[in-house]
Structure 1
Amino acid sequence: MESARITAAVARLVRDFGTAEELAQDALVAALEQWPATGIPDRPGAWLMTTARRRAIDLVRREQRYADRLRALGHDLETTPGPAGPEQALLDSEGIEDDLLRLVFTACHPVLSAEARVALTLRVLGGLRTDEIARAFLTGEATVAQRIVRAKRTLARAAVPYEVPEGPELADRLGSVLEVCYLIFNEGYAATAGEDWMRPALCEEAMRLGRVLAGLMPREPEVHGLVALMELQASRTAARTGPGGEPVLLPDQDRSRWDRLLIHHGLAALDRARQLAAVPGPYTLQAAIAACHARAGTAEDTDWVRIAALYAALAERAPSPVVELNRAVAVGMAFGPAAGLDLVDRLAGEPALKDYHLLPVVRGDLLARLGRHPEAAREFERAAHLTRNTRERTHLLTRAHTEAG
Structure 2
Amino acid sequence: MDEQAENSIESVFREERGRLLASLVRRFGDLDLAEEVTSEAVEAALVHWPVDGVPAKPGAWLLTTARRKAVDRLRRDQAYAARLAVMQVDADRADPAPPTVDGELPDERLQLFFTCSHPALAEDDRIALTLRCLGGLTTPEVARAFLVPSATMAQRIVRAKKKIRQARIPFRTPSTEELPERLPGVLQVIYSVFTEGYAASSGPDLQRVDLAVEAIRLARILRALLPDEREIAGLLALMLLVHARRDARTDAGGGIVLLEDQDRGCWDQPMIEEGSDLVVVALTGGAPGPYGVQAAIAALHDEAADVESTDWPQICALYGVLLTLTPSPVVAVNRAVALAMRDGEEVGLAALEELAAEPKLADYHPYHLARAELLARMGRTDAAISAYRRALNLVGTEPERAYLERRLGEISD
TM-score range, shorter chain: 0.7 to 0.9
Aligned residue number for residue 345 of structure 2: 337
Aligned residue number for residue 94 of structure 2: none
Q: CA deviation at 1:210?
A: 1.5
- 2:326 pairs with one of 318, 325, 328: 318
User: 1:103-149 deviations in whole A, cap 9, x for unaligned?
Assistant: 32102235x16847755546645665599599xxxxxxx9x999877
Please give the alpha-carbon distance, in whole angstroms, between the structure 2 residues aligned to 1:331 and 1:93.
54
Please give the alpha-carbon distance, in whole angstroms, between the structure 1 residues aligned to 2:17 and 2:79.
23
Which shows bigger deviation, 165-174 or 4-13?
A: 4-13
- 1:94 pairs with one of 96, 101, 105: 105
- Matched residue SS, 2:363: coil
- 2:117 pairs with one of 96, 108, 120: 108
The one-letter amino acid of 2:341's match is: M
The one-letter amino acid of 1:200's match is: V
The one-letter amino acid of 1:308's match is: C
CA contact (8 A) 1:228 1:270 kept: yes
Please give the alpha-carbon distance, in whole angstroms, between the structure 2 residues aligned to 1:305 and 1:166.
40
Change (3 A) 1:116 1:195: closer
Change (3 A) 1:349 1:55: farther
Change (3 A) 1:245 1:53: farther
1:1-400 equivalences in 2 (<5 Å): 12-13=24-25, 15-16=29-30, 60=74, 63-67=77-81, 93-94=104-105, 98=107, 101-110=110-119, 112=120, 115=123, 118-119=126-127, 121=129, 124=132, 128-129=142-143, 132=146, 151-277=160-286, 279-400=287-408
CA contact (8 A) 2:113 2:130 kept: no
Q: CA deviation at 1:16?
A: 4.6
Aligned residue number for residue 83 of structure 1: none
The one-letter amino acid of 1:350's match is: E
Change (3 A) 1:59 1:187: farther
Q: CA deviation at 1:327?
A: 0.9
Task: Provide the aligned length of Structure 1 versus Structure 2.
Answer: 356
Which shows bigger deviation, 56-65 or 382-391?
A: 56-65
CA contact (8 A) 1:7 1:21 kept: no
Which shows bigger deviation, 150-159 or 322-331?
A: 150-159
- Matched residue SS, 1:386: coil
Change (3 A) 1:116 1:388: closer
CA contact (8 A) 1:114 1:176 kept: no
User: 1:215-239 deviations in whole A, cap 9, x for unaligned?
Assistant: 2222222111111111111111111
Change (3 A) 1:216 1:133: farther
CA contact (8 A) 1:229 1:290 kept: yes
Change (3 A) 1:203 1:372: same
CA contact (8 A) 1:8 1:100 kept: yes
- Percent identity, aligned pairs only, is 42
Aligned residue number for residue 33 of structure 1: none
User: 1:270-309 deviations in whole A, cap 9, x for unaligned?
Assistant: 11112222x2111111011111101101121111121111
Please give the alpha-carbon distance, in whole angstroms, between the structure 1 residues aligned to 2:240 and 2:294.
12
Q: CA deviation at 1:240?
A: 0.9
TM-score of the superposed pair, with normalisation by structure 2: 0.73
The one-letter amino acid of 1:64's match is: Q
Please give the alpha-carbon distance, in whole angstroms, between the structure 2 residues aligned to 1:247 and 1:122.
30
- Matched residue SS, 1:275: coil
Please give the alpha-carbon distance, in whole angstroms, between the structure 2 residues aligned to 1:146 and 1:321.
32
CA contact (8 A) 1:123 1:130 kept: no
The one-letter amino acid of 2:311's match is: D
The one-letter amino acid of 2:403's match is: H
CA contact (8 A) 1:121 1:180 kept: no
The one-letter amino acid of 1:290's match is: A
Change (3 A) 1:101 1:377: farther
CA contact (8 A) 1:251 1:299 kept: yes
Aligned residue number for residue 88 of structure 2: none
Change (3 A) 1:16 1:326: farther
CA contact (8 A) 1:104 1:121 kept: no
Q: CA deviation at 1:162?
A: 3.3
TM-score of the superposed pair, with normalisation by structure 1: 0.74
Please give the alpha-carbon distance, in whole angstroms, between the structure 1 residues aligned to 2:15 and 2:125.
16
Which shows bigger deviation, 16-25 or 113-122?
A: 16-25
Please give the alpha-carbon distance, in whole angstroms, between the structure 2 residues aligned to 1:352 and 1:18.
38
- Matched residue SS, 1:388: coil
Please give the alpha-carbon distance, in whole angstroms, between the structure 1 residues aligned to 2:327 and 2:209.
29
Q: CA deviation at 1:357?
A: 1.4
Q: CA deviation at 1:60?
A: 4.4
Q: CA deviation at 1:335?
A: 1.0
Change (3 A) 1:7 1:213: closer
- Matched residue SS, 1:301: coil
Q: CA deviation at 1:18?
A: 6.8
Change (3 A) 1:181 1:319: same
- Matched residue SS, 2:308: helix
Please give the alpha-carbon distance, in whole angstroms, between the structure 1 residues aligned to 2:249 and 2:69.
42
Please give the alpha-carbon distance, in whole angstroms, between the structure 2 residues aligned to 1:214 and 1:7.
15
